[in-house]
Amino acid sequence: MEQLIDAHIGKADSPPRQRRMRVDAERNRQAILQAASEIFAQSGLEAPLEEIAERAGVGIATLYRRFPSRKALVSAALVAKVTEYERLARECLQCEPSADGFSIFVERACALQVADRGLGDLLSMTLPLDAEVEQLRMAADRHVTLLMERAKAAGSLRPDFVAEDLLLLLIANSAIIHVTADHAPGAWKRFSALVLGAFQTPGLRPLPKAPSPAQMAASMRRAALEHGCGGRV
């Protein structure tokens, strides 16, 4: 009787593989996405789904009907933000060589985390997300790698820097935002500037060895699990 109408999570221009949704259904869908964006931005990805349903003016069952898992909802609600993140990285690649694209990227990325705590959470762990979001993240990673290489070549990034160092900063920044958002809203700016400075200049002593990409990936996947966002598929 009740089949997964599922439907195009992406854009409405994809060919109608299933019958089109009823207009009330589509309207509710948009309301849920809007509410989810707002609440994830404000409270992070662990916000109770019932709160989202309530803000959308919709029953909890309707939310689950449209987005069977938290993953689906997060993916759909944050595509725009992740796109923004990817675009940021891409645009920093266009910077004139004189400007320090990598540093600008790091600053802005931290700022994005602040503007949207959902994105902040997303960037500090590896949720099992939509293919589309995953693509975006991977694209961003490629851009960042390029930015790193250029910055190293230009001497504005210490040679022993690795991509995992950036992840560590994003994790740290996310935590600092969670703690200080309400009462010390500028704190993250100071801390990230401090760390960015450390990225730029080769230290006096050699750094302890970096975690391998695989280690870091495993850690961030586990963080997502522990944070209750990856329970099921």
Partner DNA sequence: TCGTATCCGGAGTACAACCTCCGTATGAGT
Partner DNA sequence: ACTCATACGGAGGTTGTACTCCGGATACGA
CB of 167 to a second copy, least distance (A): 9
Those residues whose C-beta lies under 8 Å from the C-beta of residue 42, and which sit 6 or more positions away, are 117
Quick check: 205 binds a second copy (CB under 8 A)? yes
Q: Which of 117, 124, 130, 136 binds a second copy (CB under 8 A)?
A: 124
Quick check: 195 binds a second copy (CB under 8 A)? yes
Q: How far apart are CA 101 and CA 214, in angstroms?
A: 26
- List alpha helices for the chain, DSSP H: 23-43, 49-56, 60-66, 70-94, 101-115, 117-123, 131-154, 163-180, 187-200, 213-226
Quick check: 223 binds a second copy (CB under 8 A)? yes
User: Residue 232 binds what, of a second copy, DNA, none (CB under 5 to 8 Å, by partner type)?
Assistant: DNA
User: Residue 204 binds what, of DNA, a second copy, none (CB under 5 to 8 Å, by partner type)?
Assistant: a second copy
User: Residue 136 binds what, of a second copy, DNA, none (CB under 5 to 8 Å, by partner type)?
Assistant: none
**163-180 and 131-154 helices cross at what angle (nearest 10)?**
110
Instruction: Please state, as a whole number, how many other Cβ atoms lie within 10 Å of the Cβ of residue 94.
Output: 8
Q: Quick one: 58 or 195, whose CB is closer to DNA?
A: 58
Helix (H/G/I), strand (E/B), else coil: 4: coil
Contact (CB, 8 A) for 141 and 190: no
User: Residue 4 binds what, of DNA, a second copy, none (CB under 5 to 8 Å, by partner type)?
Assistant: none
Contact (CB, 8 A) for 58 and 28: yes
Nearest CA-CA partner of 147 in 203, 187, 91: 91
Residue with tokens 């522990």: 226
Q: Quick one: 2 or 182, whose CB is closer to DNA?
A: 2
Q: Quick one: 70 or 143, whose CB is closer to DNA?
A: 70
- Where do contacts with DNA occur on this chain (CB under 7 A)? 1-3, 5, 19, 21-25, 28, 46, 48-50, 57-62, 64-66, 68-70, 228, 231-232
Residue 64 CA to chain centroid, in angstroms?
Answer: 22
Q: Quick one: 27 or 190, whose CB is closer to DNA?
A: 27
User: Residue 66 binds what, of a second copy, DNA, none (CB under 5 to 8 Å, by partner type)?
Assistant: DNA
Nearest CA-CA partner of 189 in 117, 83, 87, 109: 109
The residues that touch a second copy, with contacts defined as CB under 8 A, are 124-125, 164-165, 168-169, 171-176, 178-180, 182-184, 186-187, 189-191, 193-195, 197-201, 203-205, 207-212, 215-216, 218-220, 222-223, 226
